[in-house]
Structure 1
Amino acid sequence: MSVAITGTGSYIPQILVPNKAFEENQFLNSDGSVIPHSNTVIIEKFKAITGINERRYAKKEFNTSDLAFLAAQNAIEDANINAEDLDYIIFAHNFGDISFGMTQGNTLPSLATRVKNHLQIKNPKCVAYDILFGCPGWIEGVIQAFAFIKSGIAKKCLVIGAETLSRVVDPHDRDSMIYSDGAGACIVEAKEGAGEILAHNSATYANEEAYYLFHGSSYHQEIPDDLKYIK
């Protein structure tokens, strides 16, 4: 039995944010001191290192689960399946739904459950759950879907990766230019004669690397410490 990705979908937000949009930001070092370079130099160096010239942000009325729903719809249509036949909805994210202007994430109910609700799936045997797995969360979701299908527990799974990271960036941190919003989804199912997922590997390095990314305070010392941002 082969396990294949039979459909894909995405949602790219409409708000285009070019690098020049950051020209008026006050970028600071982690200790709150001013970076001794102009924003023009900072932005040019950022582009040279990352290759990033622009990014997309979600409209204020959209949440992470909304972007995911739109991507999921496209994946289901691309795979030409009935959403009621899904056995699992696996949603990889890190911050949940974050209302515009806020930094606190909302993860109850799970975002996978919210997507299932948006899709109007009535089948209670379609199990919806979230995974928090950092940057490669979608890949880990595909690995789990693969395992479910190979073991006979499932036949069709929807795997989603989505974020609205624009809402958890510190405007005083130059690394904020890295992050953006969007959603991608795929259908993983048992399918004879299809191209197959041939191999996979996962690892967690939790010694020196454990806090390479974390939830921390703003670099601006006048912003309250209880407001946390991606670092």
Structure 2
Amino acid sequence: GLAAAVALALLPAVAASAHDYLVSSDPAADSTVTAPPSMVTLTFNDRVLDLAGDGSSTLLTVTGPDAATRHFETGCATVADVNVSAPVALGGAGSYTVTYQIVSADGHTVSNSYAFAYQPPAGATEAAGSEKTPCGAAAGGSGTDTPAASDPATPEATAGGSEPLVTASTPQPTAAANDSGLGLVIGIAVAIVVLAIIGVVIVILTARRKPPAAEAAADADANTPPSS
């Protein structure tokens, strides 16, 4: 009916307004890794924006083990559509924390973190790690939903999981602005399509309904006895 048609038309608009969130990761959150990983890969529900085209708007760090804060990512994050990855070389056994900051498809900065356990086999090489990330801070997007509680280079860690923490950062005058403009155009286009669909449904329903006057005339003709 009309309600179903309107609901279907509004689905793209609802999806377009949502922030990116983590769908899966390798290593997975709360998992135990027994083979030395060479890469950490995150997969999101929508594309991740690469504002400068060189991955500088994205940050992915791996720190540990346990309470230690040494960095074990060995290179900068790379972005490929919905995937973000970085090379790693882990140290000793223990818990490691993966922290990420990305620019969502809607132009907002999203950050979060999760942990996994590492139990290397006997004789595995242990990397020394470094005190600082090899790539520095990430350039932010245009989000202003929630003030950031920490420096963009080290987003505030939250409990392991995939719900994103939306943080504020300095708007970018180029690519981020273009994405905001594109979102406005898409929103207007969706609104026009929704109105058009509603109009068509109303016209169809009206055409199928016979006017009361016509119905009364038809009933009167049916009840009039034929003339002799």
Q: Same fold (TM over 0.5)?
A: no
Q: Which has the higher contact order (CA 8 A, sep 6+)?
A: 1
Task: Report TM bin, short chain.
Answer: under 0.3
Instruction: Please report the TM-score for the alignment, with normalisation by the length of structure 1.
Output: 0.25
